[in-house]
């Protein structure tokens, strides 16, 4: 680990206090030009005694704006301290977790995985236009049918066709023959550039797409593509449960990733992380953003520096070993559930390195689904699956009750 270290609470506090000193202080500095200030002191006290021991809340009240991208070019001077914390935390994630070369990536903490995914699609669309002279109608998005709907949103916004690749119903892996047919057909009607999104954990099944399924096929047919990994859900799970994973920047075909800190990491909402190799993010430069110092390369504008501090604190509190242990416990509970289901002869899907178990709806009565708040694949009568996500608060005591409630004698016709 080059950047990611465990830190005590006092050491974190000291580091964060220094970052706040490096930011503009709206109470004491003469700062006249920004449409920004600390949170309204009439409503949110700066003097409340509990703030002393709560560094995140101190940052929250001081309300820093981490607008822009801080891994390249110059940035707004007023929030230098919290921008540096953002770069620190991006280093931990990009280099130590996703095996990027130090100083060879760009990224930012987006409002969520949706934006991080759309940022990737937008960046590659412009890359193909800028670097290959592509016409937008020659560019397609490729992703499996289990892909998160943020890709559909992005396709709609960017007016790109999404080639939806079917997956096997029981194993949730990409049907390779159909992938080949779809790509060759698309090429025959004029698609030349393929923005591909591989899932590092789908939202419903936790299934993981093998990125080499795509790259091998593309190489075989000499197809031009860019590969993005959607690790919004699994980005803080899979690299720890499967330390030999190559779904990271060690694979030269992978150019970017999305990782949500506000899912598995239990960070506050507003912490979707976008990371890409150097030399790509310039494709989303908005030249008109003249009042922002440095370049604005991000989809959102203003965003809170407190979010970067929150993610930094979580990673610093656990350290790499602590986080590995936490994921290992979730894996053990997931395995426990799978064994209990097998024993009862209940059909389910589980990707071995993930903490989602998706149970065939045939064994789940409506009462059981409601009692345990199980999430269906579809909110209509054609639903075939319900999922259990083994999060921190999901313990074996509750899983036992669920297994008891699943009755194999009442298998429902689907
Ligand atoms: C949750 C999720 C997203 C979207 O993330 P938001 O943070 O809700 O915008 C994208 N992809 C996957 C796989 C997800 O699980």
Ligand 1 centroid vs 98 CA: distance in angstroms? Answer: 18
**Interatomic CA distance for residues 14 and 20, integer angstroms:** 10
**Interatomic CA distance for residues 64 and 341, integer angstroms:** 49
Distances (CA, A) of 135 to 151, 184, 297: 20, 19, 22
Contact assessment for residue 385 and residue 359, using Cβ atoms and an 8 Å cutoff: yes
- Which ligand 1 atom is the nearest neighbour of the CA of 269? 7
Ligand 1 centroid vs 264 CA: distance in angstroms? Answer: 11
Quote the tokens at residue 404: 């008891």
| Predicted pLDDT of residue 410 | 67
Ligand 1 centroid vs 112 CA: distance in angstroms? Answer: 7
In this prediction, residue 16 has a pLDDT band, given cuts at 50, 70 and 90, of very high
98 lines ligand 1 (CB under 6 A): no
Which of 200, 228, 260, 263 for mutating ligand 1's site (highest number of atoms within 8 Å of CB)?
Answer: 260
The pLDDT tens digits of the residues spanning 381-397 come to: 899 999 999 999 999 99
| Predicted pLDDT of residue 8 | 98
Per-residue DSSP letter, 36? -
The pLDDT tens digits of the residues spanning 199-236 come to: 999 999 999 999 999 999 999 999 999 999 999 999 99
Ligand 1 centroid vs 207 CA: distance in angstroms? Answer: 14
75 lines ligand 1 (CB under 6 A): no
The pLDDT tens digits of the residues spanning 69-95 come to: 999 988 878 899 999 999 999 999 999
The pLDDT tens digits of the residues spanning 144-203 come to: 999 999 999 999 999 999 999 999 999 999 999 999 999 999 999 999 999 999 999 999
How are strands ordered across the β-sheet holding 224-231?
A: 105-110, 272-277, 254-260, 224-231, 193-199, 139-144, 161-165
Q: What is the mean pLDDT of residues 265-282?
A: 97
- Which ligand 1 atom is the nearest neighbour of the CA of 272? 7
What is the CA angle 238-174-148, rounded to 5? 60
Ligand 1 centroid vs 34 CA: distance in angstroms? Answer: 33
Find, among 190, 201, 122, 111, the residue nearest to 155 by Cα.
122
Q: What is the mean pLDDT of residues 13-26?
A: 93
In this prediction, residue 35 has a pLDDT band, given cuts at 50, 70 and 90, of confident
In this prediction, residue 60 has a pLDDT band, given cuts at 50, 70 and 90, of very high
| CA-closest residue to ligand 1 atom 5 | 113
148 lines ligand 1 (CB under 6 A): yes
| Predicted pLDDT of residue 182 | 98
**Stronger pLDDT, 414 or 71, i.e. the higher one:** 71
| Predicted pLDDT of residue 414 | 60
Per the listing, tokens 């997931």 go with: 334
Ligand 1 centroid vs 203 CA: distance in angstroms? Answer: 7
Q: Is 202 helix (H, G, I), strand (E, B) or coil?
A: coil
Instruction: Tell me what the pLDDT averaged over the chain comes to.
Output: 94
7 burial (CB, 10 Å; 0-12 / 13-18 / 19+) is middle
- Which ligand 1 atom is the nearest neighbour of the CA of 231? 13
Q: What is the mean pLDDT of residues 295-311?
A: 94
How much of the chain exceeds pLDDT 70, in percent? Answer: 98
235 lines ligand 1 (CB under 6 A): no
| Predicted pLDDT of residue 412 | 64
Q: What is the mean pLDDT of residues 229-248?
A: 98
| Predicted pLDDT of residue 334 | 98
Mind listing the domains of the chain with CATH numbers?
Answer: 80-317 (3.40.640.10), 319-410 (3.90.1150.10)
| Predicted pLDDT of residue 37 | 82
146 lines ligand 1 (CB under 6 A): no
**Stronger pLDDT, 77 or 98, i.e. the higher one:** 98
Q: What is the mean pLDDT of residues 244-255?
A: 98
| Predicted pLDDT of residue 32 | 75
| Backbone phi and psi for residue 76, each to the nearest 5 degrees, phi listed first | -50, 125
b/e sequence 342-374, b meaning 16+ C-beta within 10 Å? eeeebbbbbbebbbbbbbbbbbbeeebbeebeb
Contact assessment for residue 315 and residue 92, using Cβ atoms and an 8 Å cutoff: yes
**Stronger pLDDT, 33 or 314, i.e. the higher one:** 314
Distances (CA, A) of 86 to 17, 20, 22: 15, 13, 14
272 lines ligand 1 (CB under 6 A): yes
**Interatomic CA distance for residues 218 and 187, integer angstroms:** 12
| Predicted pLDDT of residue 31 | 74
**Is residue 290 predicted with pLDDT exceeding 90?**
no
| Predicted pLDDT of residue 393 | 94
How much of the chain exceeds pLDDT 90, in percent? Answer: 86
154 lines ligand 1 (CB under 6 A): no
Ligand 1 centroid vs 274 CA: distance in angstroms? Answer: 12
Q: What string of DSSP letters covers 231-264?
A: ETTGGGTHHHH-TT---STTSTTEEEEEEETTST
The pLDDT tens digits of the residues spanning 106-131 come to: 999 999 999 999 999 999 999 999 99
Contact assessment for residue 385 and residue 377, using Cβ atoms and an 8 Å cutoff: yes
| Predicted pLDDT of residue 357 | 97
In this prediction, residue 413 has a pLDDT band, given cuts at 50, 70 and 90, of low
């Amino acid at each position: 680990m080059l950047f990611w270290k465990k830190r005590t609470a006092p050491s974190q506090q000291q580091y964060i206090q220094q970052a706040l000193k490096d930011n503009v202080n709206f109470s004491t500095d003469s700062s006249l030009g920004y449409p920004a200030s600390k949170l309204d002191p009439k409503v949110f006290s700066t003097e409340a005694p509990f703030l002393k021991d709560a560094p995140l809340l101190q940052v929250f009240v001081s309300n820093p704006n981490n607008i822009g991208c801080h891994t390249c070019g110059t940035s707004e001077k007023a929030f230098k301290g919290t921008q540096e914390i953002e770069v620190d935390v991006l280093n931990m994630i990009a280099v130590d977790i996703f095996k990027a070369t130090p100083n060879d990536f760009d990224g930012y903490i987006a409002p969520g995985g949706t934006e991080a995914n759309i940022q990737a699609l937008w960046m590659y669309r412009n890359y193909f236009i800028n670097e290959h002279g592509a016409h937008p109608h020659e560019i397609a998005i490729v992703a499996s049918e289990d892909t998160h709907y943020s890709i559909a949103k992005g396709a709609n916004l960017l007016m790109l066709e999404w080639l939806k690749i079917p997956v096997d119903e029981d194993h949730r892996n990409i049907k390779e023959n159909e992938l080949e047919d779809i790509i060759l057909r698309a090429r025959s009607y004029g698609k030349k550039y393929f923005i591909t999104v591989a899932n590092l954990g789908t939202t419903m099944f936790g299934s993981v797409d093998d990125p080499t399924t795509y790259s091998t096929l593309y190489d075989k047919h000499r197809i031009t593509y860019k590969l993005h990994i959607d690790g919004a859900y699994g980005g803080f799970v899979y690299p720890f449960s499967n330390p030999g994973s190559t779904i990271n920047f060690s694979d030269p075909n992978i150019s970017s990733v999305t990782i949500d800190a506000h899912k598995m990491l239990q960070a506050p909402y507003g912490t979707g992380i976008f990371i890409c190799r150097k030399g790509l993010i310039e494709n989303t430069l908005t030249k008109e953003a003249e009042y922002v110092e440095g370049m604005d390369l991000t989809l959102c504008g203003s965003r809170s520096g407190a979010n970067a501090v929150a993610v930094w604190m979580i990673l610093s509190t656990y350290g790499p070993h602590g986080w590995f242990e936490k994921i290992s416990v979730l894996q053990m509970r997931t395995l426990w559930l799978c064994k209990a289901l097998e024993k009862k002869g209940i059909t389910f899907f589980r990707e071995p390195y993930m903490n989602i178990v998706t149970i065939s709806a045939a064994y789940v009565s409506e009462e059981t689904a409601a009692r345990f708040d199980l999430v269906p694949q579809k909110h209509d009568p054609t639903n075939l699956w319900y999922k259990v996500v083994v999060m921190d608060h999901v313990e074996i005591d509750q899983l036992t009750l669920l297994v008891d409630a699943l009755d194999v004698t009442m298998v429902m016709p689907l």
